Structure 1
């Protein structure tokens, strides 16, 4: 009796490390991987586990990409489809009815996705289930902003309220004094643009928010990541502490340490998902400050350091794959195995190449003291045995070489950005 062929999965955004982790995790199981990408220098595109490569428009052009996706699905029906970015999570939800006839999807509705990706809506939902959030203001106009300037303790952060179709992709910036808030707010509105599709959905989405600044965010961001199924029966999670990011005050995670999951906090996250009707993979970030755990972000998609969780017995791409394929029995088996998994020591996650470059660059510039450089080198050496790298894999070397080339090209094209983030830590 022949075993039915496993359906392929279509992965996008091959320059994301979450995409690379998904390709390796599923490819090792013999699941066919179709990689859609417009860039040549994109690490996951060159993984040995990719069985088919197709050209597509850049995902930054959401209209063109969606048109391509629908054409591809019509010609190649039956692929599993799952998002790797906020843009894709929202677009897949918004166009779920058009995509579902062609793809196998495990996709919540657009209200659920937008409720998680819009910070104002997310904060309201958090209060309903008892999750704590940072002190945050959502000014509607300049009069509101003046009241915030009078009320807030400075410095504060000026941040976008959503990253969906956000053209500049900036995380936010620090405002030192009350007198700077209004001009910086005006500058934000002038310099940053959102895609018209999002503004048609929510015309107020382009208004930035003001959030209290917590120094603890530099080295004390807790991440809870995992999977919740449609029924809410299966909820699996892992914990990690972001110990180094670039820039260090407000930036992209570079190094993580394994930490236990707070069961009470996990139950509140489960209740948040249930209240909103969300199911699928997730990564939730909290600032640990003054004995409080303040939720700052909820990513309803594959995420950058997903390989860390795969290495710790939680194969999230397989969860999604089995759920989207309608294999509830297999999903249960995978979930039970993940719940029963026991590690054998301290696991860490590190993008080693960028880690080494940052230590050298900021050590030379004086942004990191010699003691700090020594601390980080000893941290890695102490945990090397169970270190998970963002890119390096002894059985799949080409993505690492492409990743090096990708970063060298980026730094050559944008030397000021390299100096600002990697040397001056700004």
Structure 2
């Protein structure tokens, strides 16, 4: 196969670990990688597998970034383009018609993406295919809160309805009693703002939802991730359970363990994708509670721990690349290999640097007992042979050094963030 003649892929958001995973997966195959990034301290930017680096506006300024992207595509047509965040997934879909004139894309339309990234529409669609969801209320205003307060069992979580163009990026807040719901609702609306483009698309998107609080969410979140093609027939998936997150009660996954795929659950996810018309990579999160798997999130894009799936024989960025290039035969061959993959032990995923920092900080503060710290160190040592790191790669060391510098700078500039996420655990 002449990889030199293969089209390049344009990747963005080099500070995301999903981007780094995609760079390494595709770069090792000789596929040219163009990295568009505005930040200097962004790990994937400095991977040895990046062929070319280009400056672009910060993706936080979505309008400026999209205009740059269109100009880049017009000047250098033919790159594969795929999103790494909810913002990019929605914006690429919103401007799909224009972008597809210059880029090779495997992008569903905007209604499909929004149907997955807006929790209200996602919950409605889940029920139709037999997927369970948490008890959730979607108040349209203050008048609805009285009914919610009467029906809900406290404490509850007040959470954003969608993360698209969500400026504060908070995951949610716990509300302890009914009397606090109205003031916390008002506080949420005041403090958390959305981008103009989203509110033009859906004026109700800024209204938070109220969700039942499950203690299982801290340690019992199951992840089903993989790829589905345009027909819904080619479907590959891997299973993982999130065993540690930061902050520990409601946060980003830090450590995962490999678990078998629940075939019945996977079939329902496939049905959901087929019903909505979704195709591409996905990561779907479930809480295991009350004997049920409750779907809490659907990520229609490259995702943070994607390197875990790649290490387990599922090269998701390659699937997207082949599909975007129209190489159906190659895609089928790769998927066949993935379906036949058999691991040789217990695989785990861990961001080792943050993992060690969390254990030290919470051990010293007393948030973790000495026995708990010992448990986690033994967990890593026991599974070290098949440990997949978010950043460390013996053949590509520079991103690890940049990642370390990036976190050190964050902790120096924002010490309160460090204390909340590492020490106080909230």
TM-score grouping bracket, smaller chain normalisation: over 0.9
Distance in structure 1 (CA, Å) of the matches to 2:353 and 2:54: 28
Aligned to 2:67: 67
Query: Structure 1 residues 391 and 126 mapped into 2: Cα distance closer, same or farther (>3 Å)?
Result: same
Q: What is the CA RMSD across the aligned residues, in angstroms?
A: 0.9
Which stretch shows the higher mean deviation, 137-146 or 80-89?
Answer: 137-146
Alignment of 1:22-101 (within 5 A): 22-101=22-101
Distance in structure 2 (CA, Å) of the matches to 1:13 and 1:145: 38
Distance in structure 2 (CA, Å) of the matches to 1:282 and 1:165: 19
Aligned to 2:174: 174
Distance in structure 2 (CA, Å) of the matches to 1:366 and 1:424: 10
Distance in structure 1 (CA, Å) of the matches to 2:262 and 2:80: 32
Aligned to 2:346: 346
Aligned to 2:19: 19
Q: Secondary structure of 1:148's match?
A: helix
Query: Structure 1 residues 3 and 94 mapped into 2: Cα distance closer, same or farther (>3 Å)?
Result: closer
Distance in structure 2 (CA, Å) of the matches to 1:123 and 1:155: 21
Deviations 1:135-187 (A, max 9, x none): 00000111211211122111100000000000000000111111111101100
Distance in structure 1 (CA, Å) of the matches to 2:50 and 2:423: 35
The total of aligned residue pairs comes to 426
Alignment of 1:170-209 (within 5 A): 170-209=170-209
Deviations 1:317-353 (A, max 9, x none): 0000000001000000000000000000100000000
- What is the deviation of 1:4? 6.9
Distance in structure 2 (CA, Å) of the matches to 1:405 and 1:3: 34
Aligned to 1:125: 125
Deviations 1:88-111 (A, max 9, x none): 000000000000010000010111
Aligned to 1:417: 417
Distance in structure 2 (CA, Å) of the matches to 1:149 and 1:217: 22
Deviations 1:266-293 (A, max 9, x none): 0000000000000000000000011100
Aligned to 2:240: 240
Aligned to 1:153: 153
Aligned to 2:213: 213
Deviations 1:211-269 (A, max 9, x none): 00000000100000000000112100000000000111100000000001100000000
Distance in structure 2 (CA, Å) of the matches to 1:45 and 1:267: 37
Distance in structure 1 (CA, Å) of the matches to 2:65 and 2:299: 21
- What is the deviation of 1:131? 0.1
Distance in structure 2 (CA, Å) of the matches to 1:62 and 1:259: 37
Tell me which stretches of 4 or more aligned residues in structure 1 moved more than 6 Å: 1-4
Distance in structure 2 (CA, Å) of the matches to 1:11 and 1:66: 14
Aligned to 1:9: 9
Distance in structure 2 (CA, Å) of the matches to 1:295 and 1:161: 14
Query: Structure 1 residues 140 and 103 mapped into 2: Cα distance closer, same or farther (>3 Å)?
Result: same
Q: Secondary structure of 1:83's match?
A: coil
Distance in structure 2 (CA, Å) of the matches to 1:363 and 1:149: 38
Distance in structure 2 (CA, Å) of the matches to 1:319 and 1:146: 48
Distance in structure 2 (CA, Å) of the matches to 1:188 and 1:413: 25
Distance in structure 2 (CA, Å) of the matches to 1:20 and 1:113: 23
1:104 pairs with 2:104: yes
Distance in structure 1 (CA, Å) of the matches to 2:210 and 2:259: 30
Distance in structure 2 (CA, Å) of the matches to 1:112 and 1:268: 17
Distance in structure 2 (CA, Å) of the matches to 1:3 and 1:404: 33
Aligned to 2:328: 328
Aligned to 1:401: 401
Query: Structure 1 residues 149 and 78 mapped into 2: Cα distance closer, same or farther (>3 Å)?
Result: same
Name stretches of at least 5 consecutive residues in structure 2 with no aligned partner: none
